[in-house]
Structure 1
Amino acid sequence: MPQDNSIVIRPSRESDVDAMLAIYRRHIRRGIEEGVDEGDTPQPDDLRERRKNLKSRRFPHLVAIKEGEVVGYAYVVLFRKRPAYRYAVKHSIYVHHQHLGQGIGRLLMRDLIDACAAAGFRQMIGYIDAENVASLTLHERFSFVRVGVLPGIAYRYGRWADSVMVQRSLGPGSTTAPPPPPLSTR
């Protein structure tokens, strides 16, 4: 797919929160994640707080901008909270429904991977609806490997759906030990 120079990927800003929330809510109401209780969807203050917490801890939180509008966003969270997992992140990417198939997910994925590797993370993990062929294909193009299936993990459209777990290494991955922690300054 050719590069679209009209799309800019940049770190999210406070002013992007409402647009990100609209994209997310649309995915819940009409997308793959339909069936989630509306009461579980984040409110603007929830998303602002999540964004602030992620950015303060070196976790990339990116938006895709086209013609001045937010058309997608991507971020990572720790895979698990325990210290042993501090080098592994779980990612999420959402694209505005009117901009699907335009390469926005690809651009967000590329920059998210680069930002995570630069931040010192070693593994990136994702969970994808087993019927979301476009997302599974995108992940394969970025060298994610299917490492598991969670059968019947989500209930929507009146039936149970599977999730596919994918993973890829970042930087040296698990081939070398991470750098030692910095010495404390006492």
Structure 2
Amino acid sequence: MPTPTAPAATPSALHLRSAVATDLSAITALYAQEVRDHVATYEYDEPDEAEMTRRWQAVVAQGYPYLVAERGGRFAGYAYASTYRTREGYRWTVEDTVYVHPDFVGQGIGRALLQRLIDDCTALGLRQMVAVVGDVTNTASIALHEKLGFRTVGVFQGLGRKHGRWLDTVQMQLALGQGDESDPV
């Protein structure tokens, strides 16, 4: 008689929700690690929690989504949409930002956050989403965006400098809803 096998362990359910003030400590810590150790952002100095709170409030005040992912009750990452450019003609275009906690990389957190961001921005009537990927070596971010339909529209060579090297910046774009096929409402 065959030995029964135990069912495969399923990871805790993923929960996505709007960020709240009590999330800012975890958001600040994750972003500080990115600033300090990586090139997804070209910022040099780690912003403190007060600055990150100000940034969160500014995004939310403009009506854009700012999301948090939790798995098993633990903070797993965050994502938000923000103004791509401040000129009036860009008001239907947003830039996305997605960060995943290192303990949760490769578990679909980034994909879930970005998909929800796309859905929320589409529901708001926005028409284009732009990803500004810090450096061509950030292949995980590029692959994530490609999986959700973004296409590379340009690479700015040597646009930024961090950690003693010049960095290229990848620009990717996704049409939301009808994109540029009709006038906005």
CA distance in 2 between counterparts of 1:97 and 1:156 reads 21
TM-score, normalised relative to structure 2 = 0.89
The aligned residue for residue 18 of structure 2 is: 11
User: Matches of 1:34 and 1:16 in 2, distance apart?
Assistant: 20
Residue in structure 1 matched with residue 122 of structure 2 by the alignment: 117
Q: Which has the larger radius of gyration?
A: 2
Preserved CA contact (<8 Å) 1:35 1:157: no
Q: 1:120 to 1:159 in 2, by over 3 A?
A: same
Q: 1:144 is matched with which residue: 142, 150, 161?
A: 150
TM-score w.r.t. length of structure 1: 0.88
Partner secondary structure for residue 20 of structure 1: helix
1:84-139 CA deviation, whole Å, 9 max, x = no partner? 11000011101111211111100001100001101111000011121111111111
Q: Tell me what 2:7 maps to.
A: none
Unaligned runs of 5+ in 2: 1-9
Cα distance change, pair 84–16 in 1 and its aligned pair in 2 (3 A): same
SS of aligned partner of 1:9: strand
Partner residue, 1:102: 107
Identity among equivalent pairs (%): 36
CA distance in 2, matches of 1:14, 1:161: 33
User: Gaps (5+ residues) in structure 1?
Assistant: 180-186
Alpha-carbon separation, structure 2, partners of 1:72 and 1:60: 14
> Structure 1's 143 and 156: CA in aligned 2 closer, same or farther, altered over 3 A?
same
User: Whole-Å Cα distance in 2 between the matches of residues 143 and 56 of structure 1?
Assistant: 28
Match of 1:20 in 2: 27
- Matched residue type, 2:96: H
Could you tell me how far apart the structure 1 residues matched to 2:130 and 2:27 are? Answer: 21
- Ranges of 4+ aligned residues in structure 1 off by more than 3 Å: 33-36
Query: Equivalents in 2 of 1:33, 1:59: separation in Å?
Result: 21
Once superposed, what is the RMSD of the aligned Cα atoms?
1.7
Name the aligned partner's letter for residue 104 of structure 1: I
* Equivalent residue number for residue 183 of structure 1: none
Question: Matches of 1:121 and 1:34 in 2, distance apart?
Answer: 24
Between the aligned partners of 1:44 and 1:140, the Cα distance in structure 2 is: 32
Within a 5 Å distance, the mapping from 1:1-186 to structure 2 comes to: 6-33=13-40, 36-38=43-45, 41-128=46-133, 129-179=135-185
* Count of matched residue positions in the alignment of Structure 1 and Structure 2: 175
Q: Report the residue type matching 2:75 in the other structure.
A: V
